[in-house]
Structure 1
Amino acid sequence: MVQIFFVRSGNRMHKHYIFLFVVGLILFVGCANAQAPLPGLTTNPIPTAPATRPQPTASPTVPRPATIFIPKEITGTLRADMLAAAKQIGLTNAANKASADLVISSQRAPDSSVLTERVYAVVDWFPTKLTNIGSEELLNLWQGQPSPQGVDTLLVAPETLAAFTELWGAPASNVKTIPAEQLVEAIWNNKTALAIMPFDQLVPKVKALHVDDLNILDRAAKMDSYPLVTRLFASGDAVFLKGFTSAFYKKNAQTNRDPNRMTQLIMTGVTAISRTSAFKIDAAGDNALPARAVADVLAAADITHVSNEVPFTESCKPVLGTLQLCSKPQYIEALKLAGIDLISSTGNHMNDYGIKAFMETLDLFDKEGFKVFGGGRNIDEAKRVLVVEDHGNKLAFLGMNSFGPKSVWATADRPGAQQYDPAILHEELEEARAEADVVFLDMQSEETYQYEPYAGNVEKFRDGIANGADVVTGVQAHQPQALEFSPDGKKIILYGLGNLFFDQMQSDNVRQGLVVRHTIHNGKLIQTELLPTLLYDYVQPRWATPEQAQEILDLVFGASGFK
């Protein structure tokens, strides 16, 4: 800051110098501040080089979500499982097939692979006389034309309807949609209807018909020519395809009919190769004579069962007209020819020749590789639950004897059959249920010579079903008897199968027998077939003719109350 002082002087020159000094000072200060404009003044700015305009930055590209196309015809649980599998690997549902990364289709594309295969069965109620239907006849029925056998209605569940609409086109009005859980009951209530249902949903209460003479219960059936198969194919990005199928197969099998998970089990009635049968065998010089006519079918099963009621012992001396029964050891050839694997030893004649003879029998069974249940060298052996595994299916077998006599019941130090005790039975069934997929109970119960079941047996057998058995078989009956199903159709009681190898010929009812063939698939009992036999010449059962078989079945179904 420049400060100006006024100083008084006595002469004029002095004042002049002061004036010049002040003017010079002002000029000096003005020059010194020439570059800094004073407040309120503007100056012309110094021109500068123009600034470069910034270029816009490119927006990052947002990747398109990966998608899967699932046709609208795929509905229900299958669609839900596909969407869930797709979500696991980051695929969203596409509305447009052309832009999808993965495409599901019922039509095979050049680069596609089979995602799922669904085999279907044509079924009728269990007592039906039908055995086969032609594929052309079935297609005509779908299109509204009744079959020559009088079938005028076809029943299907919603998912089956969608699958076959894709395969055969829109159905006629005689094709009725029924909830899957009501299909079995519906087919029993409509005797002019058939149903189409997935193979893996079969139950014993319905009968799977052959289609074009092809039996889908036969593991070796040539399915390439079977018409009731639908397939879905997957195509698209290889990485997505691998991830999707891996996730999808955690909950879904590639096929619902896997031959590697199918087991056929044959169960039979009374075997007691004794009395007149023994004389016939010895006269023919053929120890396997009883099995000659039926062995091919019995041995073809994966597992074959007999209920043997008598001892095989060297001390056996066959006698006619006696109730003291035995078999010679060499008659075991009949069981070997029949391919026997399992022996139910609950019979009431096992100790007819004493404890030693029964022990001899068990030793022979062990030597031949037969597995025994329901009886044994002592009570601990008799009460063992036998578990057999075949084609990935675990089957449990146990047996009890309520008929007696007391001398045949096993104890801690005596061989015999396991005595019936409901409390112990429930414990064993619980054990069997925990260890196996399907549980079979043999009951040697009260004997009656009639097709209708004895009331006491009904109570016992139903109790077995209620407490864990899937199949209860009465092995005491010397003639065929009634059968019944659980309300859901998944379990079955066979009150009596009649004789297999026994010499009773005094009347038609005791000549008749039932060979039962069960089919198990993927841990479930899906079908039960009844194969009638007739005994000839006191020694040999033979397959009944179609007319004879129908007569036997009509008697059994009538006693069962099937209408």
Structure 2
Amino acid sequence: MEELLLCAVGDVAAFFKEPESMFVHTADILNEADITFGQNERHYTDRYTERDLLPGVPITEISPLAHAAALKLGGFDVMSFASNHCMDLGGDAMLGTIAALKDNGLVVIGAGKNIEEARKPAIFERKGTTIAYLAYCSVGRTGWEAGVDKSGCAPMRASTFYQQVDYQPGTPPEIISVANRDDLAAAIEDIKKVKASADIVVVSFHWGLHHVRGTLAMYEREVAHAVIDAGADLIVGHHPHVLKGIEIYKGKAVFYSMGNFAFDLPLSVRTQRQKKLGAKHAFNKVTGDPEYADWYSWPAESRVSMIVKCRVANKKISRVSFLPVLINSRAQPVVVSQKDGFEKALGNIRELSSSQGLNTEFCAESGEIVVRTRSPVPAEEES
């Protein structure tokens, strides 16, 4: 049976200006895949502006309607819109963006006119193999979740608790987060249902701690393990705007955050948002690079990205790897060569993963970083 290639990237938003330039360095790679996935981070509309934000929403992401066409240049087949921005402008605006993406040949998952549509998988038949995609959001505002007769996203909510671990006043608490039981049960039901007919199930989560290096929230691992136990074959995460570690659980890869991929942020826009969000917001605790001000005023850590590559043979994922990526001063993702920054990228993902106790081994092969389960240390070596 012929081998398949699946690719996935993190947050994507058609640029405010010159969107046709987004993928000039990566289009060939993304278009080579049999299926390419990305997370949509922006509304595409000529009807709505930030004056139409729902009450309590300080900022959103909007590009002109015509800019959605630029996503075709990236070779995307399926995109999630299960995000913390999907309902910023209300249900009609969200559905308009979904329509714009569909008009440009994309299958949209994770959001819709009701909960049935938001939880509906995208199913592809490629070379005799059936691949399904599902998407959920953990970081939406209250009310962003879809309902029986209400538009929104497919939720994977979590609750947070703070436990004092030392009797001394003012000491840092232990932060405990647990998945919403109903949301997790619904996702498990979705996965089991689609797994009955699909060979491979890819699950996308918009989750985690944004602008925080390394740290994984407790609920992320709980959810990841539960959905793999239910039949998921690959998990791809996004939202934090930085890379996070990679885990292998029961032979299945969990990319906790693939970072930004193609997502411009001029300094002028950043400055406006800083004022609206307030000094205590995480976005205002990181600093953009002045040399990147015209196009990409994200912090340096947000310039580090990846293209996930999964090879499929005999209807199973046979190899998981990624291409390390750096985002240049024009906000364009560029694959890191083995001669320029590759070893640094390898060291970075090793540190991000080991800092969270993830059992992952990484090795360089043919310009890619291959992801494997770390071999257990023999007992005699431990002693």
Instruction: Check whether TM > 0.5.
Output: yes
Higher strand share: 2
CA contact (8 A) 2:69 2:104 kept: no
Deviations 1:460-488 (A, max 9, x none): 1122112211111112221111011124x
Aligned partner of 1:269 in structure 2 is: 10
Aligned partner of 1:415 in structure 2 is: 151
> Aligned ranges for residues 540-551 of structure 1 at < 5 Å?
540-546=332-338, 547-551=340-344
Mapped pair 1:367 → 2:103: yes
Mapped pair 1:493 → 2:254: yes
Q: Amino acid of the residue matched to residue 533 of structure 1?
A: V
Mapped to 1, the partners of 2:98 and 2:352 lie a distance apart of: 37
Mapped to 1, the partners of 2:66 and 2:329 lie a distance apart of: 20
Compare 443-452 and 302-311 and name the one that shifted more.
Answer: 443-452
CA contact (8 A) 1:271 1:499 kept: yes
Mapped pair 1:431 → 2:166: no
Mapped pair 1:534 → 2:270: no
Q: 1:296 to 1:374 in 2, by over 3 A?
A: same
Deviations 1:141-195 (A, max 9, x none): xxxxxxxxxxxxxxxxxxxxxxxxxxxxxxxxxxxxxxxxxxxxxxxxxxxxxxx
Mapped to 2, the partners of 1:366 and 1:292 lie a distance apart of: 23
| Structure 2 gaps, min length 5 | 52-57, 157-182, 265-295, 355-359, 362-383
> Aligned ranges for residues 22-171 of structure 1 at < 5 Å?
none
TM-score where L is the length of structure 1:
0.49
Q: 1:323 to 1:536 in 2, by over 3 A?
A: farther
Question: How far did residue 267 of structure 1 move?
Answer: 0.6
Aligned partner of 1:335 in structure 2 is: 71
CA contact (8 A) 2:240 2:259 kept: yes
Of structures 1 and 2, the one scoring higher in RCO (CA 8 A, sep 6+) is 2
Greater C-alpha radius of gyration: 1
Deviations 1:275-320 (A, max 9, x none): xx41xx2xxxx3311122211111111111111022211135589x
Mapped to 1, the partners of 2:342 and 2:217 lie a distance apart of: 24
Mapped pair 1:389 → 2:121: no
Mapped to 2, the partners of 1:550 and 1:326 lie a distance apart of: 36
> Secondary structure in 2 aligned to 1:435?
coil
Q: 1:288 to 1:318 in 2, by over 3 A?
A: farther
> Secondary structure in 1 aligned to 2:343?
helix
TM-score where L is the length of structure 2:
0.71
> Aligned ranges for residues 199-348 of structure 1 at < 5 Å?
258=1, 261-273=2-14, 277-278=15-16, 281=17, 286-315=18-47, 323-348=59-84
Percent identity over paired residues: 26
Question: How far did residue 437 of structure 1 move?
Answer: 0.7
Q: 1:517 to 1:315 in 2, by over 3 A?
A: same
Question: How far did residue 549 of structure 1 move?
Answer: 3.1
Deviations 1:335-354 (A, max 9, x none): 11111110112111112222
Mapped to 1, the partners of 2:344 and 2:20 lie a distance apart of: 29
Aligned partner of 2:345 in structure 1 is: 552
Aligned partner of 1:136 in structure 2 is: none
Q: Amino acid of the residue matched to residue 331 of structure 1?
A: H
Aligned partner of 1:141 in structure 2 is: none
Aligned partner of 1:472 in structure 2 is: 235
How many residues align? The count is: 291
CA contact (8 A) 1:326 1:352 kept: no
